[in-house]
Copies of this chain bind each other. A is one copy, B any other.
Amino acid sequence: MIPKKALHTRVPVTIGAMESSSPTTGGSTRREATRQKLYEAAVTLIAEQGFSATTVDEIAERAGVAKGTVYYNFASKSVLFEELLRHGVGLLTASLRQAAEQTARDGGGKVDALDAMIRAGLVFIERYPAFTQLYVAELWRTNRAWQSTLMVVRQQAVAVVEDVLRDGVAAGEFSEEIDVPLTASALVGMVLVAALDWQSFQPERSLDDVHAALSRLLQGRVSGRDRD
């Protein structure tokens, strides 16, 4: 018999970045390139239509690859999807964490860290809108095959925000009365929804513009006048 499927390497790949300069992909196998193309095709299609409504044939066609190749590279349609999820959220958390660390290094306070993370979130969503869409669509579903993957991955992302909040409380920068997990959720939601609306309905606006509006909201400069 042929030992087909199940030779799955966990390889770091970039989601939407089809283009040049893959930094770490030095040993970029042909296989990896194919997987990359499949990720890209799948992420868009699933974001638009949902997982179930997207067929493997479509994914293969969009990726410019034969259907058999999909199954040579992934055990199943949902495994492909799960790896997509894992990888995408990995990128996001890395980016959030880096933003937080950078402000710390620059001597900024925790409010600055949150602000930097908002920006990092916006940058991510601007770069990978389809992934974000798809992630939001799946996040609160229950009874799905990849539920546990999703939970793990969600917690990783939210934890970054929670950590900053907790540090801020410890440092006396935030009120001790704040509810850390809930506030973290709310902040994530604020950015997520605002950004998705931005991408969907006002894509012509600049990131700085959107960031400024959210910053203002974060710092409670909505009620009360601005000093100007």
What is the distance, in angstroms, from A66's C-beta to the closest C-beta of chain B? 24
**Stretch touching chain B among A8-16, A22-30, A32-40, A131-139:** A131-139
Counting CB contacts under 8 A, is A196 at the interface?
yes
Report chain B residues within 8 Å CB of A192: 189, 193
The reply to whether A213 and B183 contact each other, CB–CB distance below 8 Å, is yes
A220's partner among B50, B133, B194, B223 (CB-CB below 8 A) is: B223
What is the distance, in angstroms, from A144's C-beta to the closest C-beta of chain B? 7
Given contacts A186-B213, A189-B189, A214-B186, contact A144 B178 (CB under 8 A): no
A217's partner among B186, B202, B213 (CB-CB below 8 A) is: B186
Residues in A167-186 with C-beta less than 8 Å from chain B: 168, 172-179, 181-183, 185-186
Give bound CA distance, A176 to B48, whole Å. Answer: 36
The reply to whether B175 and A224 contact each other, CB–CB distance below 8 Å, is yes
Counting CB contacts under 8 A, is A198 at the interface?
yes
What is the distance, in angstroms, from A145's C-beta to the closest C-beta of chain B? 10
What is the distance, in angstroms, from A179's C-beta to the closest C-beta of chain B? 4
A48's partner among B139, B142, B218, B222 (CB-CB below 8 A) is: B142
Counting CB contacts under 8 A, is A210 at the interface?
yes
Report chain B residues within 8 Å CB of A51: 50, 52-53
The reply to whether A194 and B186 contact each other, CB–CB distance below 8 Å, is yes
A222's partner among B174, B202, B226 (CB-CB below 8 A) is: B174
Counting CB contacts under 8 A, is A216 at the interface?
yes
A-B CB contact pairs (8 Å), 12 listed: A50-B53, A111-B223, A174-B222, A178-B213, A178-B222, A182-B198, A185-B193, A185-B194, A186-B190, A186-B191, A188-B193, A219-B220
